[in-house]
Amino acid sequence: MPIVTVHWFSERTHEMRAEVADGIADVISKATKAPKDIVRVLFVDVPTTHWSKGGQLVSDYKEPPKYMQKE
Provide DSSP, 15-60.
Answer: HHHHHHHHHHHHHHHHHH---GGG-EEEEEEE-GGG-EETTEEGGG
What confidence score (pLDDT) does residue 62 get? Answer: 81
Q: Is the pTM of this model over 0.85?
A: no
Q: What tens digit of pLDDT does each residue of 3-49 get?
A: 999 999 888 899 999 999 999 999 999 999 999 999 999 999 999 89
Beta carbons within 10 angstroms of residue 43's beta carbon:
15
Question: Does the structure show a pLDDT above 80 at 70?
Answer: no
